Structure 1
Amino acid sequence: MLGVCTPDIHFVYVLPGWEGSIADGRVLRDAIRIKKKWVPEEDATLVSCMVNLHNVGTFNANMRFKAGYLNELERMLEKVLPHAMLKAKPNLESRIRTLKRDLAIVYDMLSGKDNSSFD
């Protein structure tokens, strides 16, 4: 396979049938799993789109989002950040999990839970 990436690991060209390579979906799938480095603009836009999605209410369900919300977020982000190439899985799913974890840590520190005298 021949793959061409930008310096921040965004694929701009992929040729799965490059001579001497195994041209199957597994190779391409594994190549795309390179860990994405998020920039602050992408984080802010993701959170903004999640707020908008919540406010519309179509995907709301008992303090969570209904199934399929990641695909809708992908479509929303594509309109605002077309060159970011953010995919529902693994990009959005992974980043939302990280943001939830970080928020829980900050919440615990500020609420007094396990804060070891944090002021």
Structure 2
Amino acid sequence: MDRSASQSHESDRSISMHDDPVPKKKGRKGKAKAKGSKRLWTKKEDAVLVECLLELKEQPLWRTEWGFKCGYLAKVEKMMWEKLPHYGLKAQPHINSRVKMLRRQYNAISEMLEKGSGFGWNDEEKCITCTKDVFDEWSHPFARALRHKPWVHYDSFVAIYGKNRANGAGAETAADAVEDLDNGSVDNNDE
């Protein structure tokens, strides 16, 4: 084999070593993301996740008024590893992503039930009930797939995050606070 043929073969090999055989999509913030990296959760994994969140909610070390303290995802990861070993669920991105998605769906359902006219809850089937027209008029982005779809974790999420969510209703602006101070109508709880 002559030297030029050998160099040509080596250069082909070095090019192929650096070529990426799997096309990558650009994710958020321009980072490359492997195609097909989205993880699909099973009903069993969802149930264990919600069970872990309920257990964590009962521990005062992790509980706050609005949910959980920082670092709770690592604790949930450990708890899930004990219940589902070898599933490979990580706090980032798996558990964090799933909790966010479930929370968005919970908030959408809660908003429909609290503010939406014509919405109901079927407690046997654990799903939103309404006519197609009422549902189509509702514009919540996370509500699209929830009509007549069972959402079995609703009661658990009420226990974890509560029914009262921050929605801005009754919120006091800085101008309102200053006006209350000027009028002397501030409640003094020090008495």
Aligned length: 94
Q: Distance in 2 between matches of 1:38 and 1:51?
A: 19
Query: Given that residues 33 and 90 in structure 1 are in contact (C-alpha distance below 8 angstroms), is that contact kept between their aligned partners in structure 2?
Result: no
After TM superposition, give the deviation of residue 109 of structure 1 in Å: 1.8
Q: For each residue in 1:31-84, what CA deviation from the matched residue of structure 2 results, as whole angstroms up to 9, or x when unmatched?
A: 498111001111110000011011122211232211111000000000101122
1:3 counterpart residue number: none
After TM superposition, give the deviation of residue 105 of structure 1 in Å: 1.2
**TM-score, normalisation: structure 1:** 0.68
> Which structure 1 residue ranges, 5 or more long, are not aligned?
1-18, 23-28
Q: Which of 42, 45, 66 does residue 42 from structure 1 map onto?
A: 45
Equivalent residues in 2 for 1:1-119, closer than 5 Å: 20-21=17-18, 30-31=33-34, 34-111=37-114, 113=115, 115-119=116-120
After TM superposition, give the deviation of residue 117 of structure 1 in Å: 2.7
Q: Distance in 2 between matches of 1:63 and 1:110?
A: 20
Higher Cα radius of gyration: 2
Q: Which amino acid aligns with 1:20?
A: M
**TM-score, normalisation: structure 2:** 0.44
**Structure with greater strand percent:** 1
SS at match of 1:56: coil
Distance change in 2, residues 1:75/1:32 (3 Å): farther
Q: Distance in 1 between matches of 2:68 and 2:35?
A: 26
> Which structure 2 residue ranges, 5 or more long, are not aligned?
1-15, 20-31, 121-191
After TM superposition, give the deviation of residue 108 of structure 1 in Å: 1.6
Q: Which runs of 4+ in 1 moved over 3 A?
A: 29-33
SS at match of 1:82: coil
